[in-house]
Amino acid sequence: MQSLLLPTAAAAPVAAAPRGRRQPPGRVSVRASASATAAAPRRETDPKKRVVITGMGLVSVFGNDVDAYYDRLLAGESGIGPIDRFDASKFPTRFAGQIRGFSSEGYIDGKNDRRLDDCLRYCIVSGKKALESAGIGNGSKAMEKVDKARAGVLVGTGMGGLTVFSDGVQNLIEKGHRKITPFFIPYAITNMASALLGMDIGFMGPNYSISTACATSNYCFYAAANHIRRGEADIMIAGGTEAAIIPIGVGGFVACRALSQRNDDPKTASRPWDKARDGFVMGEGAGVLVMESLEHAMKRDAPIIAECWSGARGGQLYQCSCHIHTCCLAGDLAEVNAIKQVFKDPSGIKINATKSMIGHCLGAAGGLEAIATVKAITTGWVHPSINQFNPEEAVEFDTVPNVKKQHEVNVGISNSFGFGGHNSVVVFAPFKP
């Protein structure tokens, strides 16, 4: 995923290469569709259909505070280091963006906290923090006034409760089926992040999960916005959560040959658009937005942070075809080629890669990166893409190499791509009444 930070909103759609034979690594096909000159979607004017962002919450390798997270991104810090959650000494990749010292105190009671998979814990904490920042913390008087039947949760995950699943399989093999915890199924399946958060805060509107690999969060934002625009909800909590830095998770991506193996210097391992990139770096966490209709937000005098203009998934507004979206030869150039189809003039456009510092957070990537995009809009500062040592000549855009830049952002576009050809884009902009 990358973020595009634009001075204007002009854009035209791009269509993917035809689905057919699978592209081999290193070969990418991107073509413009017949509708490539179609007008960009008009900005919504109906306050019932305008979707605004009123709260943000996260769990990240840089902590659980949105401002502190963005400050460390602006500073160009790397959150990548050796894995110490398990013995990774025999793995060819022994580092990741592993979260350390995570605490759910004040957000999850101790008994449940011990049972839950980290994927679920990250979701609940980030969701409740997002509500607090929106002025409707759980149990507050403001929350009591929210129509719970018109308030929903749509937080997805690519991998689900992977630790719970892995531990259950191990217990089955080593001790037999009687030693499988009764929480094995409920805490492993992908819908439970949204379900548990919804039950905890009492939201009874649309509640489900989307799982589209690394494109998950953006699919959730897109779907949540549509629930609001169709009049099915006034407010939605949406985003993604992931916790896959465990032996089977790392081992699975090793088997795909997708991970960097720069064990001697993990902080420089994630190198988007750099000629020496050798794979992605795993990350984890959660990123969640509170999305509301403008009408609902204004009625309760909510703190409006930004506006969600539009979004797309699959073959709709924007899309590209790539082998794997990682820091690999094929993925990075595929995205750049697609962006060039949409934006003919690279001047004034900045593209940055949050994953260069926090790793690629799979289903949570779009959530954490959406927050970074919104912060760029509200602060006027664009975080750098670190580890830019020898950039590809084909990348003609300003990738904000290594050092933050001031930039007035009128439109922020967040791109996400996942295994299976799932492509998604969300467009954010400053809120203007």
Active-site residue set: 214
Question: Where does 319-432 have alpha helices with state H?
Answer: 329-342, 355-358, 365-379
Q: What sign for the dihedral angle of Cα 110, 128, 151, 237?
A: negative
Q: What sign for the dihedral angle of Cα 41, 46, 47, 49?
A: negative
> Which of helix, strand or coil describes residue 366?
helix
CA distance 48 to 294: 6
User: Rg of the chain's alpha carbons, rounded to an integer?
Assistant: 20
| DSSP state at residue 213 | G
Q: What sign for the dihedral angle of Cα 69, 72, 77, 82?
A: negative
Residue 143 φ/ψ, nearest 5 degrees: -65, -35
Tokens 């839950």 sit at which residue? 116
| Whether the Cβ atoms of residue 413 and residue 3 lie closer than 8 Å to each other | yes
What are the CA-CA distances from residue 101 to residues 30, 56, 59, 62, 240 (Å)? Answer: 43, 21, 11, 11, 20
CA distance 60 to 219: 20
